[in-house]
Amino acid sequence: MSYKEPAPIKNQENPFESMMSRFDEAARILGLDKNSYNVLKSPAKAVIVSLPVIMDDGTVQVFEGYRVVHSQAMGPSKGGIRYSMDVHLDEVKALAAWMTWKCAVVGIPYGGGKGGIKCDPRKMSKGELERLTRAYAGAMRDVFGPEKDIPAPDMNTGPQEMAWLMDEYSKIQGMYTPAVTTGKPLVLGGSSGRVEATGRGVMVAARAAMGKLGINPSEATCAVQGFGNVGSISAKLIQLQGLKIVAISDVSGGYYDPKGIDIEGAIAYRNSNGGTLEGFNAERITNEEILELDVDVLVPAAMEDQITKHNAANIKAKLIVEGANGPTSASADLILNEKNIMVVPDILANAGGVTVSYFEWVQNRLGYYWTEERVHRRADRTMKQAFEEVYAASQKYGTSLRIAAYIVAIDKVAKALAFRGVF
Ligand code: GLU
């Protein structure tokens, strides 16, 4: 099919290049052999499909859908599906590679993949979204599979989309196949604790990093950019650790209150306000200003390329914990390092989500379901161990936590490749 790559979004650096520049640096420090480097630098598979959907007004609209499998060296590829007008091939390629590194950092037996559909879900009805999701599941029938490639929620997708996807795939297979996707509703084989898992992992990572920096949670302030699943739950759980959350934001803008924002109240407000914080009672700031507030901890949990060479010098936080994937561009890393700001990178900080996805897949295959307490305990332990492993690598190699996380991940994936002998 003819395919034209859309122009990048304003101010955005190419996310795949951002991923590659970190990969290159870690590969160099690790002394990665040329063969493994060559295998890992390009995605194993990239599928682009056209998805015709009958809209409510009777017209047919054709959407573009993507699935990129970066690597299956460690196991079936794993990674979410996002619905957004910003979806484009280089973004999905970067996100797929990040999933390979993320799964390896936390030591779960998966490779990395990512998918997306270029659409504006806010402008679509539930019926249109269902038909779109089913069309995507059908088009990707040969890509997906519990032992092949396992999707999950990402930006603007959640349990409902996963339920449609699982149902469509199960119909095609002629049998109930819950392990084809994770992040499903609880009644359909979802896992306890999956909805909170990413935010909870962000909190665990933040707590571990604050420990290293000697930040006392009950005296610290925090700003959280993004108020979707990851941002709102991170904010709530970080607040429960004693930090004062002075600012939050979503697509409607930022909300600042130096006395501290009641996050439970903000979540209730968002839920009763059509899913947005618009009109929330606090001083209005922008999504750019929230990043530059004088706080101890900053959690970017919105989207890619929020901290770039244009604003990195203005960041005042001592600690950044990346709830989103790729919120910091590679060119900003250098500036943050010079400023001595500790950054817990995305592939570590937000790995709690895919960790509990793994637990969900295990439970689906066992047909035996764990208590929420067990899920939390195991996920917290996984996050703490991964943080300590990455921290130790950063001490050993004298690098940032980001490059250390890549080193830990690439080392594991390269070893798997060498044992399998894929060359
Ligand atoms: N979309 C989430 C991520 O970026 C979860 C992926 C998964 O659970 O497979 O980590």
pLDDT at 260 (0 to 100)? 98
Given a cut of 60, whether residue 3 has pLDDT beyond it is: no
Residue 17 has pLDDT above 90, yes or no: no
Q: Is 357 in the pocket of ligand 1 (CB under 6 A)?
A: yes
pLDDT tens, residue by residue, 189-239: 999 999 999 999 999 999 999 999 999 999 999 999 999 999 999 999 999
User: Ligand 1: which atom is nearest the Cα of residue 358?
Assistant: 8
Task: Answer yes or no: is the C-beta of 154 below 6 A from any ligand 1 atom.
Answer: yes
Atom of ligand 1 nearest to the CA of 81: 1
Supply the pLDDT for residue 9: 39
Q: What tokens appear for 22 in the block?
A: 């970190």
Ligand 1 pocket test, pick from 67, 95, 99 with the greatest ligand atom count within 8 Å of Cβ, gives: 99
In 10 A of CB 14, how many CB atoms?
Answer: 17
Give the pLDDT confidence of 57-71 residue by residue, as tens digits: 999 999 999 999 999
- Structure tokens given for 180: 């084809």
Q: Read off the pLDDT band of 248 (50, 70, 90).
A: very high
- CA–centroid distance, 57 to ligand 1, in Å, is 34
Task: Name the one residue in this structure whose structure tokens are 């993507």.
Answer: 66
> Which residue bears the tokens 């996380």?
405
Q: Indicate the DSSP class of residue 273.
A: T
The CA-based dihedral angle spanning residues 171, 84, 117, 125, taken in that order and rounded to the nearest 10 degrees:
50
Q: Report the topology of domain 45-180.
A: Rossmann fold (3.40.50)
Do residues 248 and 255 make contact, with C-beta atoms less than 8 angstroms apart? yes
pLDDT in tens, 337-393: 999 999 999 999 999 999 999 999 999 999 999 999 999 999 999 999 999 999 999
Structure tokens at 122: 């806010």
Only one residue has tokens 């989500």, namely 353
Reading the block at residue 126, the tokens are 């539930």
How does pLDDT run across 293-339, given as a tens digit for each residue? Answer: 999 999 999 999 999 999 999 999 999 999 999 999 999 999 999 99
pLDDT for the residue 16: 87
Give the pair of three-digit tokens for residue 407. Answer: 């080193």
Rounded mean pLDDT of 76-105?
97
Q: Which spans in 107-193 are helix H?
A: 126-139, 159-173
pLDDT grade, residue 12 (50/70/90)?
low
Strands 319-321 and 60-71: unpaired
Distance from residue 80's CA to the centre of ligand 1 (Å): 5
Catalytic amino acids? Answer: 114
Q: What's the CA gap between 297 and 155, in Å, rounded?
A: 23
> Does ligand 1 have an atom closer than 6 angstroms to the CB of 77?
no
Q: Where are the alpha helices (DSSP H) in 214-298?
A: 229-240, 263-271
Pocket perturbation via mutation, ligand 1, pick of 154, 198, 375 by most ligand atoms within 8 A of CB: 154
Q: How confident is the model at residue 7 (pLDDT cuts 50, 70, 90)?
A: very low
Tokens linked to 121: 């879900």
Residue 66 DSSP code? E
Query: pLDDT at residue 8 above 50?
Result: no
The alpha carbon of 255 and the centre of ligand 1 are apart by a number of angstroms equal to: 27
Say how far apart CA 215 and CA 318 lie, in whole Å. Answer: 9
Helices H, strands E: what count in the chain? 13, 12
Q: Which of 161, 200, 354 to mutate to test ligand 1, by most ligand atoms within 8 A of the CB atom?
A: 354
Q: Where are the alpha helices (DSSP H) in 241-369?
A: 263-271, 330-338, 346-349, 352-366
Distance 408 CA to ligand 1 centre (A): 19
- Specify the domain boundaries for CATH 3.40.50.10860 within the chain: 45-180
Q: Whose CA is nearest to atom 5 of ligand 1?
A: 354
- Residue carrying the six token digits 């700031």: 285
Our answer on whether the CB atom of 156 is closer than 6 Å to any ligand 1 atom is no
For residue 140, which of 185, 90, 181 has the smallest C-alpha distance?
181
**Residue 267, pLDDT above cutoff 90:** yes
Ligand 1 centre from 114 Cα, in Å? 8
Chain region(s) in the chain for CATH 3.40.50.720? 195-349
At the fourth CATH level, the homologous superfamily of domain 195-349 is NAD(P)-binding Rossmann-like Domain (3.40.50.720)
